[in-house]
Amino acid sequence: MQIHRINAWSDNYIFLLHAGSVAAVVDPTEAQPVLDKLAALGAELIAIFNTHHHGDHVGGNRQLLEQFPDATVYASEADQGRIPGQTVFLNGGDTVEFCDRTATVVFVPGHTRGHIAYYFAPIEDDEPGELFCGDTLFAGGCGRLFEGTPDQMVNSLNKLRQLPDNTRIWCAHEYTLSNLKFAITVDGQNPDLQNRYAQVQAARQRQEATVPSLLGIEKKTNPFLRWDQPALQATAKMKDPARVFGRIRGMKDMF
């Protein structure tokens, strides 16, 4: 399975999964760049995997279905009525298939009440897993809590934190530099974070994408996966995981 990253709008990423003559798309912001890539690959779209209902993740569904009416649209059961063209209603622990790959559905509410992620485990031990996590986990950050609570988001992020360190994080926005600018303000003595910030600054100056990230790097540098670390607890002036997370998330909202 090949993964193609497609730019959309100002900072969205759409991901096209391609195998032979067929393809699936994750969170199509808009249809045209997906249609262009399908034409270039000579591939038929057979599936749409949506992580949540926001317009910049489902905006291309209807136009894609006009061109590929037999495509299956997967999304959360909790998002029923909010996903254009949805035909399959998923819960955490369900699995979905694309060609010879199986993804486990992870229920990760917090950003929205029905948010899910798709985790494709590696076929070989030395290969990375692939996590399509929408707006729950970002490179260096996490999504705002539009429909959920800090407790829900900590629980959701902790599920993702348990995946192998070599899992590739295919998050849906190029927010990494701004996320790390904030992270430095709450975890500034972290040498791994300092090094990453410098690397991302250089990459963005070269207009290089910073997605995918690796989960192992996120565990070392992303403050929203580090609520149990003394430096973040000191910044938040508390130790309870949800309260630490909530305080840091509130600071980011005001940054």
List the catalytic residue out of 18, 27, 79, 111: 111
Active site residue 53: no
Residue 211 sits in which domain range? 2-253
Query: Which of the following is catalytic: 27, 79, 135, 187?
Result: 135
Confidence at residue 192, expressed as pLDDT on a 0 to 100 scale: 98
Specify the pLDDT at position 119: 98
56 is catalytic: yes
Residue 144: per-residue pLDDT: 97
Mean pLDDT, rounded, for 17-34: 98
Q: What is the mean pLDDT of the chain?
A: 97
Choice among 18, 27, 53, 54 that is catalytic: 54
Give pLDDT, residue 125. Answer: 80
Cα separation, 232 vs 134, in Å, equals 25
Question: Choosing from 18, 53, 115, 173, which is the catalytic residue?
Answer: 173
pLDDT in tens, 101-151: 999 999 999 999 999 999 999 988 889 999 999 999 999 999 999 999 999
27 is a catalytic site residue: no
Our answer to whether residue 111 is catalytic in this structure is: yes
Alpha-carbon span 153 to 168, nearest angstrom:
20
pLDDT in tens, 152-194: 999 999 999 999 999 999 999 999 999 999 999 999 999 999 9
**The residue type at 27:** D
What's residue 128's pLDDT?
94
Catalytic residue among 57, 79, 115, 187: 57
**Total number of domains in the chain:** 1
- CB-CB neighbours of 234 under 10 Å: 13
Catalytic-labelled residue, pool 27, 53, 56, 187:
56
* HSE-up (13 A, CA, CB side) for residue 245: 26
**Is 115 an annotated catalytic residue?**
no
Enter the pTM of the model. 0.97
- Alpha-carbon distance of 226 to 134, in angstroms, equals 20
Selected catalytic residue, list 18, 52, 53, 115: 52
Of 79, 138, 140, the closest CA to residue 109 belongs to 79
